[in-house]
Structure 1
Amino acid sequence: MSPQIEKIVNAYKTLSKIPSILGARLNNNGTKVSSRWSVRNIDKGKNSQYMIDYSLDTDLKVVAESDFGVDISNELLSAVSPKESYKAVIREDKNGKDKKCFLEIWSRNCLSHSIDLTALDVHGDVYADGEFGSLDWSADEKSLIYIAEQKPKKSEPYIKRKLVDKENNGDGDKKITPGEEYIYKPDWGEQLVGKRRSVVVKCDLETEAVTLLEGIPDNMCPGQVRFSADGKGVVGVVWEIDDPSRLGLIFCTNRLSHIFWLSFDGVYRRLSKPVASVRSPRITPDGGVVWLQRTVGGPHHACHQIVRLSKSNFESIISTQQTNDTKEEILLDIVSEKLFIKNGTFYGMYGTSFPIKCWSDDGKRLIFSTICLNEVNSYVLNLETKEITQISIVDKGSTTVLCVSADVIVASYSNVATPGQLYVTKLPECGSEMSIEWKRVSLPANIPEWLKDAQAEYLHLEHSNCDDDVKSFNCILVSGKEKRPLVVWPHGGPHSAFVNAYSLETALFHLLGFASLQINYRGSTGAGEASVCFLPKRVGNADVVDCKFATDEVAKQSVVDERRMCLYGGSHGGFLVAHLSGQYPGVYKAVVARNPVIDCSSMAGVTDIPDWCYVEAGLNYHESGEVLEKELVAMRRCSPIIHVHKVKAPTALMLGSNDKRVPYYQGLDYAKRLKANGVKTRVFMYEDNHSLSSLNSEMDNLINGTDWLLTHLKE
């Protein structure tokens, strides 16, 4: 092992021991925080998850905490009952290729129920992902609901020898359909592979009966379910699946969906608009429903409305055949540019969910978090006045609310130099939210001294002499005190954003002596809907111009070595670094691209999100009719493949063989052309999906990626 590799490996090992916060909940009186954490376990090749409890006094000071973390790595879902009498855990036990799933109900002092869901064979795998997954208790603590895969219809070959006795006695399985075992069954794509048709499952604990709720239309996939306030049914989200092909769902908040109510005797009602994209329904304290809503189509992520259906309107809809086309109330509308609030500036709601418990004790205020320029900030929305107040921790960084109970709020806070910590606060009375004071619950562990000098500088850049409707964008420069080589790092999406929060990648670059420029080019979220909508049809142009403009501005700073600049990015960030290395071949000395989009025209036919290729190129997505030559040309012209012949910088490509979003042969084709042009090129192939986030993939691509940059910056 070379000294350089050894240094990178040691830095990664040091940072891998720093845990991250997965979530936290408060008990009903706000005096106990139960927190969930994750830490990389290199020897196991996966993350270990564990729980730590903190007891608080009336002043919210920690008076006791768990002596040790309790391992919860095999828990898929867990939920504490409303009166805190029970805790439900859905647990998965694996033995080689075999796995079993159990629903456990724990009382305060023993295991009350343990139900082998696999043996019951009522449904397939339980969904624990962020799109569909949920586990919720009824108010009387007698029932649970969750989401699972519908059992597929059985099939067999047309010609198959069967047991003679069964044939003669008429005991053969009449539900088996011959000749259908190889029919293609589409799923929900990237990171949701194998999830095809979801069902709502209800478990009645007194009888331990597990049943599937009926009444949801066959062309709908339900998820995110909760018991309705009256206990007579469930509220959730359904996504329609009767399009010519099913589009990928993860990271895509623009899919056709609606909020529904389903009674336990099979009565189905639509609660939201017929044409919208919705998510994260929450039952209001007075029995209504609140959710997030945006338009269908367009950018894959964008600003959301916060919408409420009052209790009276909810009851009116479920008691009649009438559906909701006009009865919802907009509590917070789409913010085009910015909204001035009494203690700051608000740019819109871009968060993809509310906390599970998100209400003030009086039921008049909703607490949520969202990206705001270069941070995640947290806010209180007054449901009566519709006023918004920022309640983030004052220090520069990101604050995310995790749970609200008895007017106590628990949140996570971090910045580039400080790993996630837990804080709590008491929500003051209405109108006094600006006086909020946060108190630390946990202390960040295992922070290396050399990380503490990392500084995050927010840059607001604006194009002068420009006729564009949107002229400005933002960046985060992470640097130290001395002059460093620069990693130019545009994010993926493109409709996402970098925030000042702790990440292992950012910390690793800092520990290895890099400054990093994280670019929130025009089209990023958290800066107003106008910025998001500016980029489609300008992709491969405006975003590239922004990245080069940011590079030039930062290169003037004393903490950056302008002679040693390199590129790093994944997905659409990979698209941008490929553009930059082709369009400005003398500026950047080395490139690392993870699952980069190289050619939108060829990607459109094979990705799980073909609409992305059309929309970002400024085209209307369609699946019927002729594929027009001008559409393919437009998609190709905005792609970095047209500049591949000009690339000079040594380029490493990190590809996932199971990537459904940007299939790996996009990168292979690019590598082939780079090599043919004499460019130093190396391809790393991982048995992983688009994110390359499994521990072994992450470890290898970060170590090899940083080694590639360091090696070629010396040349």
Structure 2
Amino acid sequence: MPSSPQHADYFFYILLLLKKMISDSEEIAGIYRELSKFPSPLKAYIRPQITLKPKEKFSIIDTEWSQRDLERAERVKIFREYLVFHDENSILCTGPSGNCTELQGELLSRDSPSATLKAVIRERTNKKQEKQQYLEIWSKTAKEKSINLTALDKHGKVYEDDLFGCLEWSYSETCILYVAEKKRPKAESFFQSKPEHSVNGDEDDNRAKDGQKPEKGCQFVYWEDWGEALTNKSTPVLCVLNIWSGNVSVLHGIPEHISPGEAIWAPEDAGIIFVGRWHVPWRLGLKYCTNRKSALYCVDLTGNEYLEISSGINSVHSPRLSPDQHHLIFLEGGSVKTHHQCYGLSLYNLDKKVTSTVVRILDYPATDGFTGIYSSALARKCWATDSQRILIDTTQRSSKDLFVVNIATGTVTSLTAGPDTASWTLLDVCQDLIVVSCSSPNCPPNLKVGFLPAAGHEQEMIWMALGEDKPLHGIKWKILTFTPHFEHENPKFNGLQFEGILLLPGQEQNAKPPLVVSPHGGPNSVFVTCWMLMPAVFCRLGYSVLLVNYRGSCGFGQDSIRSLLGNIGSQDVKDVQFAVECVLKEGVVDSEKVLLIGGSHGGFIGCHLIGQYPGFYKAFATRNPVINLASKLGTTDIPDHTMVQAGFDYAPDQLPTPPVLATLLSKSPITYISQATTPVLIMLGEKDKRVHPSQGLELHRALKARGIPVRLLWYPDDNHSLSNVDTEADVFMNIAVWFNFALNRTQ
């Protein structure tokens, strides 16, 4: 059957696009390769100070970085060492020590409290192509121990993630604490044959080294996991290894309804403090979701006595013990059920066994401009030497700042105040020497150091760079503040503002640049003024980029987050469109060349925009977009998110009613897709458990059926973030060519 003229135009469009890809790819790839080489810091460790002579000291800072290797299609971990010369409280000079080296196979590493030993969890592939995990103990001169954890068969794989994983030395430096997957029972087929020489089944016992017979018919039993990016993690257990004997003990007796993680040693090695996350009635996705019901526990090493430190009502994370071992701080969520929100800073007095609030949850920014704490995790070491002050990096509107909090007074003081609106991340603090990462949209990450001033003088903080921190040419940026029109005000939360980060090409151009618009996903995440590869490359290609933090973004107070509940598909969409129109009125970009990018909830907003404002956007590129809330509900690892953002309470034991499903559908962009005319590029990760690929396929079919130009890219080895190095590069290349082609057709 011959194709219709409408579909013939569609295939002709794709043919021309492929030709365009060949002609444009070399220039785009060159700029992408150039800017993708900048590494990002992962962690830093300040070694104990060394005294040269009175008032002359130096410190060694070990750092780990992640860098994209396009040829190997992977992120490599590299090691850098820096020297910092100083007196008692001021930096004299700094500099790198030697060249970078690559770290291979390291999953986790941690220096002992005295810095004389180092523990490393390393993964290697043996001659049989089987992955083996080792725990290694290194001294300053040699590898002292190498323990094959896989061969010990006490547990499954060690957790290396930021949500459960840990690697903690005991204060005595005799034991190491870590989290691993619980050992699963062996299983075999119902029809597994016994060895010919088996007598009365005795050989079955011989085949089970641990004394347990394999469970017949259980090899395909489903093991529930923790969702997106945590698919191999189901039942974590706390493990303690004695480094001298090599024995591993798995701590038993933890309540059946919780999964332990983020573990640290209690004072004097008397027990273990950990976060216990509820997994009943089932495990909801945990990645990017800091709202999961949880509590802090302290357990003795026998597993017999438990103390619940926090209330267990909301969510907690990041327990950090003070240097004097008298106080424990942690972040605690409120009653809002969104996946990210403003958090209170709680303090537990271990002597009096009393909990108090140091920094409360802020509904609206304070008079001094402080908007609250939004950290997904505190730095592992965040206490000042006096055990009275804590260092916290947190989003503040569209930037990320560093603060010091006095636990006695609750006073919050910025250590990064000033005209520079770059974003800061705390990496380590030792004897009040602080090392941070600092970056901005036109400056890749660099490290800075400084001494924390005495209490009451924190505003006198002085920073010194460990390396070059010069901005790159060809990129300018600024923060824009938007006040919604009165008709778009939220009647329950009026007076709220939102922001955007506008990047502009720095070089002179004959014509105004096209504008790429990008609302973030989440929806309660945020864009901050840090280094971001994709916007930077677009600027170097001659595009301007607008990153929109619509109402509902974190960093603007809890009321801003609450305001979006029940209003997705409306308030967020109107905010983005209003921000775009404000930028166009400034006259700095080409109003006829507006393009759109969005992933996840950003894709949800983008699909609404091309349907509600047909023809306004010349091209759209979307990654794992949310298309239909009703159909998403049964396929996502976070069904509670779908219900709560749509304005409903979530109850795991209740099915959605027809009116609820109708409302979900009415808020979905698929209902507007018949009005869309914008060419759409769709990119899907096959392993996505957050937004199932069926969502993107639903969009692809709807567009294709209407003859709207659409192209679908399918990444079989990637998940929701599409962050594998080869995927990430291919995604950008295709988006850039898609946009170039769309603009050439409109000229």
- TM-score after normalising by structure 2: 0.91
Match of 2:278 among 226, 240, 258: 240
Secondary structure of 1:389's partner? Answer: strand
CA deviation after TM superposition for structure 1 residue 628, in Å: 0.3
Distance change (3 Å), C-alpha of 1:436 and 1:63: closer
Partner of 1:295: 334
Partner of 1:55: 83
Match of 1:102 among 131, 134, 137: 134
The amino acid across from 1:368 in the alignment is I
CA deviation after TM superposition for structure 1 residue 175, in Å: 3.4
CA deviation after TM superposition for structure 1 residue 693, in Å: 0.1
Match of 2:344 among 305, 308, 311: 305
Secondary structure of 1:413's partner? Answer: strand
Partner of 2:734: 704
Alpha-carbon distance in structure 2 between the residues aligned to 1:291 and 1:122: 31
Instruction: Give 1:435-474 correspondences, 5 Å limit.
Output: 435-443=460-468, 451-466=472-487, 467-468=489-490, 469-470=493-494, 471-474=496-499
Alpha-carbon distance in structure 2 between the residues aligned to 1:139 and 1:624: 45
Any stretches of 5+ residues in structure 2 without a counterpart?
Answer: 1-20, 50-57
Secondary structure of 2:67's partner? Answer: strand
Any stretches of 5+ residues in structure 1 without a counterpart?
Answer: 315-326
The amino acid across from 1:26 in the alignment is I
Alpha-carbon distance in structure 2 between the residues aligned to 1:14 and 1:167: 68
Do the aligned partners of 1:374 and 1:476 also contact (CA within 8 Å) in 2? yes
Do the aligned partners of 1:32 and 1:55 also contact (CA within 8 Å) in 2? yes
Match of 2:234 among 189, 196, 199: 196
Alpha-carbon distance in structure 1 between the residues aligned to 2:83 and 2:283: 47
Alpha-carbon distance in structure 2 between the residues aligned to 1:489 and 1:63: 39
Q: Are residues 1:693 and 2:723 paired?
A: yes
The amino acid across from 2:219 in the alignment is E
Give CA deviations for 1:112-136 in whole Å, capped at 9, x if unaligned. Answer: 1111111111111111111101100
The amino acid across from 2:32 in the alignment is Y
Partner of 1:569: 598
Instruction: Give 1:347-358 correspondences, 5 Å limit.
Output: 347-358=371-382
Match of 1:638 among 664, 667, 670: 667
Partner of 2:215: 177
The amino acid across from 2:25 in the alignment is I
Give CA deviations for 1:189-245 in whole Å, capped at 9, x if unaligned. Answer: 0000010100011011121111111221122211110111121111111111121x3
Q: Are residues 1:261 and 2:298 paired?
A: yes
Partner of 1:488: 517
Secondary structure of 1:484's partner? Answer: coil
Alpha-carbon distance in structure 1 between the residues aligned to 2:335 and 2:107: 31
Instruction: Give 1:580-599 correspondences, 5 Å limit.
Output: 580-599=609-628
CA deviation after TM superposition for structure 1 residue 165, in Å: 3.4
Q: Are residues 1:333 and 2:360 paired?
A: yes
Alpha-carbon distance in structure 2 between the residues aligned to 1:592 and 1:363: 49
Partner of 2:175: 143
Distance change (3 Å), C-alpha of 1:644 and 1:93: same
Alpha-carbon distance in structure 2 between the residues aligned to 1:274 and 1:120: 35
Alpha-carbon distance in structure 1 between the residues aligned to 2:115 and 2:680: 55
Q: Are residues 1:79 and 2:110 paired?
A: yes
CA deviation after TM superposition for structure 1 residue 285, in Å: 2.4
Instruction: Give 1:188-587 correspondences, 5 Å limit.
Output: 188-243=226-281, 245-266=282-303, 267-287=305-325, 288-295=327-334, 298-314=337-353, 327-341=354-368, 345-392=369-416, 394=418, 395-443=420-468, 451-466=472-487, 467-468=489-490, 469-470=493-494, 471-481=496-506, 482=509, 483-587=512-616
Alpha-carbon distance in structure 1 between the residues aligned to 2:227 and 2:335: 18
Secondary structure of 1:3's partner? Answer: helix
Do the aligned partners of 1:31 and 1:60 also contact (CA within 8 Å) in 2? no
Do the aligned partners of 1:277 and 1:296 also contact (CA within 8 Å) in 2? no
Partner of 2:61: 33
The amino acid across from 1:136 in the alignment is E
Match of 2:629 among 587, 600, 619: 600
CA deviation after TM superposition for structure 1 residue 73, in Å: 3.5
Partner of 1:6: 26
The amino acid across from 2:143 in the alignment is L
CA deviation after TM superposition for structure 1 residue 652, in Å: 0.2
Alpha-carbon distance in structure 1 between the residues aligned to 2:69 and 2:314: 42
Secondary structure of 1:328's partner? Answer: strand
Secondary structure of 2:586's partner? Answer: coil
Partner of 1:323: none
Do the aligned partners of 2:195 and 2:203 also contact (CA within 8 Å) in 1? no
Secondary structure of 1:476's partner? Answer: strand
CA deviation after TM superposition for structure 1 residue 393, in Å: 6.5
Secondary structure of 1:556's partner? Answer: helix
CA deviation after TM superposition for structure 1 residue 171, in Å: 4.2
Partner of 1:69: 100
CA deviation after TM superposition for structure 1 residue 28, in Å: 2.7
Give CA deviations for 1:95-114 in whole Å, capped at 9, x if unaligned. Answer: 58521111111111111111
CA deviation after TM superposition for structure 1 residue 62, in Å: 4.4
Alpha-carbon distance in structure 1 between the residues aligned to 2:322 and 2:650: 37
CA deviation after TM superposition for structure 1 residue 361, in Å: 1.0
Do the aligned partners of 2:95 and 2:466 also contact (CA within 8 Å) in 1? no
The amino acid across from 2:98 in the alignment is D
Alpha-carbon distance in structure 2 between the residues aligned to 1:378 and 1:48: 28
Secondary structure of 2:591's partner? Answer: strand
Instruction: Give 1:84-163 correspondences, 5 Å limit.
Output: 84-94=115-125, 98-163=130-195
Alpha-carbon distance in structure 1 between the residues aligned to 2:102 and 2:199: 50
Alpha-carbon distance in structure 2 between the residues aligned to 1:634 and 1:24: 48
Distance change (3 Å), C-alpha of 1:458 and 1:169: closer
Secondary structure of 1:13's partner? Answer: helix
Alpha-carbon distance in structure 2 between the residues aligned to 1:97 and 1:689: 25
Do the aligned partners of 2:434 and 2:451 also contact (CA within 8 Å) in 1? yes
**Aligned-pair Cα RMSD in Å:** 1.6
Do the aligned partners of 2:474 and 2:539 also contact (CA within 8 Å) in 1? no
Do the aligned partners of 2:604 and 2:627 also contact (CA within 8 Å) in 1? yes
CA deviation after TM superposition for structure 1 residue 2, in Å: 2.9
The amino acid across from 1:666 in the alignment is Q
Secondary structure of 1:703's partner? Answer: helix
Do the aligned partners of 1:304 and 1:350 also contact (CA within 8 Å) in 2? yes
Alpha-carbon distance in structure 2 between the residues aligned to 1:225 and 1:305: 20
CA deviation after TM superposition for structure 1 residue 478, in Å: 0.7
Partner of 2:708: 679
Query: Which stretch of structure 1 is more off in the superposition, 258-267 or 153-162?
Result: 153-162
Do the aligned partners of 1:54 and 1:62 also contact (CA within 8 Å) in 2? no
The amino acid across from 1:699 in the alignment is A
Alpha-carbon distance in structure 2 between the residues aligned to 1:66 and 1:117: 34
Do the aligned partners of 1:257 and 1:277 also contact (CA within 8 Å) in 2? yes
Do the aligned partners of 1:599 and 1:636 also contact (CA within 8 Å) in 2? yes
Alpha-carbon distance in structure 2 between the residues aligned to 1:625 and 1:92: 43
Distance change (3 Å), C-alpha of 1:681 and 1:405: same
Do the aligned partners of 2:95 and 2:467 also contact (CA within 8 Å) in 1? no
CA deviation after TM superposition for structure 1 residue 296, in Å: 5.8
CA deviation after TM superposition for structure 1 residue 441, in Å: 0.6
Secondary structure of 2:728's partner? Answer: helix
Query: Which stretch of structure 1 is more off in the superposition, 165-174 or 279-288?
Result: 165-174
Secondary structure of 1:208's partner? Answer: coil
